[in-house]
Structure 1
Amino acid sequence: MNKSVLALLIPVLLSSISYAQTDPENVSDIDLEHIVVTGSRIVESIDEVPATITIISRQQIEAQLKVSSELQAMLATLVPGMAASTGTSSNSSQTLRGRSPLVMIDGVPQSTPLRNGALGIRTIDANSIERIEVIKGATSIYGNGAAGGIINYITKRPDGNSTITGEVSLSSRFSAVEFEDTAGQRLEAMINGHINKFSYVASASYEENGLQKDAEGDVIGLKYGLSDAVMQNYFAKLGYQFTDDISMQVVFNHYQSEQDSDLMDVVGDINSGNKTYAVKAPKGTVAPGEPQGPNNQNIMLKYTDETLFYNTQLVIDAYAQEVENIFFFSPVLANLDEGYSGGQSLIKSDKKGLRATLNSQFEWDNIEATFIYGIDALNDVTSQPLVDGRIWVPEMDMDNLAGFLQTKWVFQDGFIIKAGVRRENIDLVVNDYSTLKLCKTPDVCSVPVNVVGDTLTYSATTYNVGIRYNWQAYFQPFANYSQGSDISDIGRLLRTATVNDIADIQTQASIIDNYEIGFTSVVNNNFRLEFSAYRSTSELGTTNSYDAATGIYMPVRAPQEIYGYEALVNYSFSHNLDVTASYAWVEGKDTKNNIYLGAKQISAPKGTINVNWSPVEDARIAFTYLYVGDRKRFDPVDGAYVGDKGPIDSYHVVNVSGYYNFANNWDAYIGIENLLNQDYYPAKSQAYTYGGYNIKALGTTVNMGIKYQF
């Protein structure tokens, strides 16, 4: 394996990967709105990237935080192509262009692709994030798990050159429909500064939710719920500038969210039209299971040498991550013969990684050339046991070594060409194991299978090429082709094995081919139009088919085609008023069987309008409108919809927030979610027919707070 990687690196290494090669802390706030680091692992102008990118600025994050701290809702509102939020702790079905994105913090993967539990988006509090960069479309730039693209949370940086600055914020959030027991509280604090060659940022967030109530005043169901949830996040970034060229940075982040509630669900059925809601557990009873929610911590070390040798920069990133995500108690995991009325699973994942990236830049007469190259190494040990000790998904021990090479060529007439290659080598060790006996009823159970383990090996060479021509400001077309190598969710395949040898399970990697064309148009610096159309194909996917005999959803691996388009318009009426509108449509099929893909992958059409207005110097108001359209591709089976194929009816949601600087360094703010108290099921709740998922959305919910800056 090592020889093949070295063979790739020796010839002429070209690539584009990792977090901030040129330190973004040395870039002004104004410039930050026009650069991107995620897609190429170096700082570059967004106008030199031949792909669709969404950047969420700190100002946008703060406006959304006044309504809700949930990152799922923020991404759904601000990212075209991102499926609408679910209103729960899970980002299941919240795909990016119909495929799962890889979530990262400063370039370090947070998702658990070997057993995708769909909790990767909630891995850090928004208060610790400086900006968010979303690169769309399959890519192998950061390795496994990026079939739909990349969401990179770029953490806060020291502000200015002060020894110490900071802020403290206190807020309360409650239902305006039915106030009783809904009041929660949130505390945020942050300090940062520079002391000679030393810099630091530290932040902490603590939030307690009250009961979450829908438009009818009922408590929303508990499956991936947020009622009575307690969140805490602790973040620190320490930096030291040894010389003008050499620096080191250490980042630590701990995030935990737990729902510890004395409620229990009254389970409804989407086919009958009865919603799932929660009530107080009867006296003398206790809700089964342990508190559910994500729990992870990261430590990252970055060493930068700006002038390793002529025109070349070196960045070394080392990181470690621990994940322990606990899921809800489920009767599906029952086995009465062994004394289990149900079960509760947890995904455990330990990652350790090292990245060495070199960036060489050259300039000739009319050409600027950038070469990015290096090695990525990752060890990921993931499993999904049950809290009671049973093993559902055995331990998977993955070693991943990759070499990469990317180039960018900029010609003075505005013509940009990017091309790259990545060689991926993966060894995945799974020891002998037995599948779990699960019982739909006492008499209807799955048959456990003893599976002989092995070392699964994967190797792939993936390519990307993109062209952009900044012909005129009003027409800047681009086109790109990129590949991704994806072995996501091997754990789901292992836990439903029906054969005795792991070699006979269809665990092959998917190669995703992604094609995109589009353009950007800027007129008079106050009007911006973006449009893109895309298509992605893969010979293997992972959908599900319901097994009526056992009540288990079995993976189906079949070729897939996903296609769609996105449009975004931004207009600045003046320096204190701007409006952004977007629309996204995506569709996908299992091309072998000529059937549409379900809601776990394909989202309903989505439109958004975001208005930011500063009526006076010390005040700002933000207005957001979300439209989710119909998607009705499936017929009922024996009179009922099954799986993730329920019909989706359209709905509209309006949020508003604002703040006022009423005294030196003091702000008061308010945010209102679902201003018009729309009574609706979110798209996932309509499409998912699984028991307990048909929960309604939040009714009108108010968030009020005060902030002090020093």
Structure 2
Amino acid sequence: MFKPSLSLVALAVSSCVVASESDPGIERIIVSGSRVIESIDEVPTSITVISQKQIEEHLMVNPELQSLLAQVVPGLAPDTGSSSNTGQSLRGRAPLVMIDGVPQSTPLRNGSLGVKTIDPSALARIEVIKGATSVYGNGASGGIINYITKQASTQGEHAGQVSLSSRFSAVKLQESAGARFSAGVNGKVGNIDYLVTASYEENGVQRDAEGDILGLQYGLSDTVTENYFTKLGYEIDEEKRLQFSYNFFSSQQKTDLGDVVGDINEGQKTFAIHVPEALQKQGKPQGPDGNENITLKYSDSNIFANSGMTLDVYAQDIENVFFFSPNLANPDEGYSGGQSIIRSEKKGARATFNTAVDFDNIEATFIYGIDALNDITSQPLVDGRIWVPEMDMQSLAGFLQTKWVISDDFIVKAGVRKENIDLTVDDYETLKVCRSATQCSVPVEVKGDTIDYDATTYNLAFKYNFSDKFSPFINYSQGSDIADIGRLLRAATVTDIGLIQTEASIIDNYEIGFNSTFEKVRFEVAAYRSTSELGTSNSFNEVTGVYEPVRAPQEIWGYEGLVDYQFSPSLSLLATYSYVEGKNTEADIYLGSRQISPPKATANLNWKPMDTLSLTVSYLYVGNRKRFEPNSEGDYVGDQGPISSYNIVNLSGQYQFADNWNAFMGIENLFNSDYYPARAQSYTYGGYNIKGLGTTANLGVTYQF
């Protein structure tokens, strides 16, 4: 006997569900875990869903998504305080960042800028699936961060919102005041619905607890950020829908400042000052330079018996500009440094089918389909030199995911994905780069070729909804990862690409945990372990001055927990703790902070004393991690610097003073803690030793119509 599943029903009404901000069910559904909408109660793995309300609360304090993710997601490394999420791993590995399932990361040359790719005002929620997965293909060795965009509301014909705010340093106001504007409008006319959002923000200078301007490397001072997002939908009938979406994002630092570079080994911070033009930040403005996404989606919730289908076609054009670095110098050719750009063009198509079958006491769901992707990525320098040659990846994959719900309480998930990847690289020569006149890499002519990757990955998971008070799960999942091939190519020391260790890494991920819900409190606890035979870390070559990739087996393990306590209808507390550790098991040495973050605890206290007023206090604790010894000169190298603990408290609130008007305020680093973020402490590379933001205030007003 056949009957429609929850997934199919939800697929048909998803636009209504997502559009409603107050709908309590919005946090109980996800799409990222299996590529179709399903209930969280039937997912046997760790998930964090960040609601639109949580996004808007954090937006009052800070518009940076990586700051929000670090505050709310257990297992995600602390915020870097910059535009780059390098070092902000998810359970010790790189996550794949997506917008509505379309990859934003550039895994072939991972520049760690994928988190900052859309404005929070365009989002309905964020879904974070933890642990290696092959559901979406290459680049998800640590899991998935999927930004789910807003849908047009079906309640009423037209609605919209406009918000104005200013963010400034409370330590030293001079030059720090910025301005932010965001607006959105949506509606439905007949069978056509639309949503348009726009945001524009100009930052002033950002200051630390001492009032000094933060260093400019990946900095946010004097940054101009623009985001324009639109979604158009056409309901062909009750079962069929056609949807088009477009996203434009740009965030570039346009400044007349220059850095005073310090040394973290000496306890000296890097900060910025006004300098003559010759000493100002060189090169093009750093940051995403007008990245674009276009997606066309067709869905049919009943294409054949008890089956739904979604077809996606997408294209993406990315150009991420990095800072000018003297380490890319070549005095022999007259280069005092260089500035790189990661360019990536993706074209993809995906067909996902969903079939539901009912066998007496067993409800079965089969999710299957085909993914095709062409990803062309390179990393040239602005001056025309080639650092990473063009990599042309052709990928074709088929997958089958199954879910079996037995007697409503016992869930079994099992799946397989077969991936075939061809990666073509033409002949190239590695770039000669010099840290000094006597410390230079040696160029190598490398013969190109087409590398074939064939990988089959599996997953198997169980969950038992014994009762609300105890719902345990266990899962095993694999991911196939050829991430950051570009870093291997640019540091090649052999003459044939076939001799470079470009093999794919298979990640085996094991997890066990449980969820418990009582009258006023909810617990989530999970422990995990992941292994890979060919992980990638760095080793500094003191002769050439180049950080060379090391391929070696890795083991990463950890645990995390969450407590959600509802003191009363107007007062609630959400607290998390996460711990992760990892080793190169071949050499029996700990992994550096590029992958492994220190322990992290967070707390968010929400109080709504009246219908028109709400307040939120958020707390972040980052613990110690001191796993490495200094070298013979007493200095730490690479990403092995010791991390000392620090604490940050934020405050935000909003007040509805008229029917359609809200005023809001946010204070970041309320007690003006003077600290280095975890990455700034552990990264000994030049220019990363930048202190955290001092007390910063944000004031604004929102009008809804």
Is contact 1:24–1:32 with CA below 8 Å preserved after alignment? no
Cα displacement string for residues 467-490 of structure 1 (whole angstroms, at most 9, x for unaligned residues): 000001100000000000000000
Post-superposition shift, 1:707?
0.4
Question: Is residue 655 from structure 1 mapped to residue 650 from structure 2 by the alignment?
Answer: yes
Letter in 2 for 1:464: N
Is contact 1:218–1:277 with CA below 8 Å preserved after alignment? yes
Question: 1:24 & 1:375 partners in 2: Cα distance?
Answer: 23
**TM-score, length of structure 2 as denominator length:** 0.97
Q: Which runs of 5+ in 1 are unaligned?
A: 1-16
Question: Is residue 115 from structure 1 mapped to residue 109 from structure 2 by the alignment?
Answer: yes
Say which of 230, 238, 249 aligns to 2:232: 238
Letter in 1 for 2:614: R
Say which of 421, 433, 436 aligns to 1:438: 433
Partner in structure 1 of residue 685 of structure 2: 690
Question: 1:418 & 1:394 partners in 2: Cα distance?
Answer: 41
Letter in 2 for 1:552: V
Question: 2:522 & 2:572 partners in 1: Cα distance?
Answer: 11
Post-superposition shift, 1:21?
4.9
Q: Which is further off, 599-608 or 295-304?
A: 295-304
The residue matched to 1:76 in structure 2 has which SS? helix
Question: Is residue 558 from structure 1 mapped to residue 548 from structure 2 by the alignment?
Answer: no
Partner in structure 2 of residue 504 of structure 1: 499
Question: 2:473 & 2:12 partners in 1: Cα distance?
Answer: 25
Cα displacement string for residues 289-327 of structure 1 (whole angstroms, at most 9, x for unaligned residues): 110002311000100111111001111001001100000
Question: Is residue 671 from structure 1 mapped to residue 666 from structure 2 by the alignment?
Answer: yes
Post-superposition shift, 1:664?
1.2
Letter in 2 for 1:47: D
Question: Is residue 156 from structure 1 mapped to residue 146 from structure 2 by the alignment?
Answer: no
Partner in structure 1 of residue 14 of structure 2: 24
Post-superposition shift, 1:282?
2.2
Is contact 1:281–1:287 with CA below 8 Å preserved after alignment? no
Question: 1:402 & 1:575 partners in 2: Cα distance?
Answer: 48
Say which of 203, 209, 217 aligns to 1:215: 209
Partner in structure 2 of residue 516 of structure 1: 511
Is contact 2:388–2:487 with CA below 8 Å preserved after alignment? yes
Q: How does 1:141-540 map to 2 (within 5 A)?
A: 141-282=135-276, 285-295=279-289, 296-524=291-519, 526-540=520-534
Question: 1:469 & 1:390 partners in 2: Cα distance?
Answer: 57
Cα displacement string for residues 321-374 of structure 1 (whole angstroms, at most 9, x for unaligned residues): 110000000000000111100000000000000000110001121111100001
Is contact 1:21–1:41 with CA below 8 Å preserved after alignment? no
Question: 2:12 & 2:481 partners in 1: Cα distance?
Answer: 29
Letter in 2 for 1:422: R
Is contact 1:375–1:401 with CA below 8 Å preserved after alignment? yes
Post-superposition shift, 1:159?
2.2
Q: How does 1:93-112 map to 2 (within 5 A)?
A: 93-112=87-106
Post-superposition shift, 1:161?
2.4
Post-superposition shift, 1:25?
1.2
Is contact 2:42–2:411 with CA below 8 Å preserved after alignment? yes
Post-superposition shift, 1:575?
1.8
Q: How does 1:567-646 map to 2 (within 5 A)?
A: 567-638=561-632, 639-646=634-641
The structure-2 alpha-carbon separation of the partners of 1:23 and 1:42, relative to structure 1 and needing over 3 Å to count, comes to farther
Alignment size in residue pairs: 692
Is contact 1:22–1:42 with CA below 8 Å preserved after alignment? no
- Root mean square deviation, CA, Å: 1.1
Cα displacement string for residues 181-210 of structure 1 (whole angstroms, at most 9, x for unaligned residues): 000000000000111111111000000000
Question: Is residue 131 from structure 1 mapped to residue 125 from structure 2 by the alignment?
Answer: yes
The residue matched to 2:121 in structure 1 has which SS? helix
Post-superposition shift, 1:618?
0.5
Cα displacement string for residues 36-84 of structure 1 (whole angstroms, at most 9, x for unaligned residues): 1100111111011000000000000000000010001000000000000
The residue matched to 2:672 in structure 1 has which SS? coil
The structure-2 alpha-carbon separation of the partners of 1:21 and 1:391, relative to structure 1 and needing over 3 Å to count, comes to farther
The structure-2 alpha-carbon separation of the partners of 1:283 and 1:340, relative to structure 1 and needing over 3 Å to count, comes to closer
Post-superposition shift, 1:439?
1.1
Is contact 2:12–2:238 with CA below 8 Å preserved after alignment? no
Identity %: 63
Is contact 2:442–2:544 with CA below 8 Å preserved after alignment? no
Post-superposition shift, 1:440?
1.8
Partner in structure 2 of residue 67 of structure 1: 61
Post-superposition shift, 1:22?
4.9
The residue matched to 2:469 in structure 1 has which SS? coil
Post-superposition shift, 1:443?
2.6
Question: 1:287 & 1:680 partners in 2: Cα distance?
Answer: 25
Is contact 2:16–2:153 with CA below 8 Å preserved after alignment? no
Question: 2:288 & 2:93 partners in 1: Cα distance?
Answer: 22
Is contact 1:234–1:255 with CA below 8 Å preserved after alignment? yes
Letter in 2 for 1:70: E
Cα displacement string for residues 242-269 of structure 1 (whole angstroms, at most 9, x for unaligned residues): 1111110001000000001111100000
Question: 2:645 & 2:584 partners in 1: Cα distance?
Answer: 24
Post-superposition shift, 1:24?
2.1
Post-superposition shift, 1:287?
2.9
Q: Which is further off, 699-708 or 547-556?
A: 547-556
Letter in 1 for 2:194: Y
Post-superposition shift, 1:162?
1.5
The residue matched to 2:686 in structure 1 has which SS? coil
Is contact 1:172–1:186 with CA below 8 Å preserved after alignment? yes
Q: Which is further off, 615-624 or 393-402?
A: 615-624
Cα displacement string for residues 440-488 of structure 1 (whole angstroms, at most 9, x for unaligned residues): 2123211100000000000000000110000011000000000000000
The structure-2 alpha-carbon separation of the partners of 1:623 and 1:677, relative to structure 1 and needing over 3 Å to count, comes to same
The residue matched to 1:539 in structure 2 has which SS? strand
Partner in structure 2 of residue 11 of structure 1: none
Question: 1:433 & 1:242 partners in 2: Cα distance?
Answer: 51
Letter in 2 for 1:89: S
Q: Which is further off, 618-627 or 156-165?
A: 156-165
The residue matched to 2:617 in structure 1 has which SS? strand
Post-superposition shift, 1:569?
0.3
The residue matched to 2:265 in structure 1 has which SS? coil
Is contact 2:281–2:324 with CA below 8 Å preserved after alignment? no
Question: 1:442 & 1:646 partners in 2: Cα distance?
Answer: 27
Say which of 39, 43, 46 aligns to 1:49: 43
Is contact 2:258–2:279 with CA below 8 Å preserved after alignment? no
**TM-score, length of structure 1 as denominator length:** 0.96
Large movers: runs of 4+ above 6 Å:
none
Partner in structure 2 of residue 14 of structure 1: none
Question: 1:39 & 1:510 partners in 2: Cα distance?
Answer: 21
Partner in structure 1 of residue 27 of structure 2: 33
The structure-2 alpha-carbon separation of the partners of 1:693 and 1:284, relative to structure 1 and needing over 3 Å to count, comes to closer
Question: 1:116 & 1:138 partners in 2: Cα distance?
Answer: 17
Is contact 1:22–1:43 with CA below 8 Å preserved after alignment? no
Cα displacement string for residues 479-518 of structure 1 (whole angstroms, at most 9, x for unaligned residues): 0000000000000000000000000000000000000000
Post-superposition shift, 1:413?
4.5
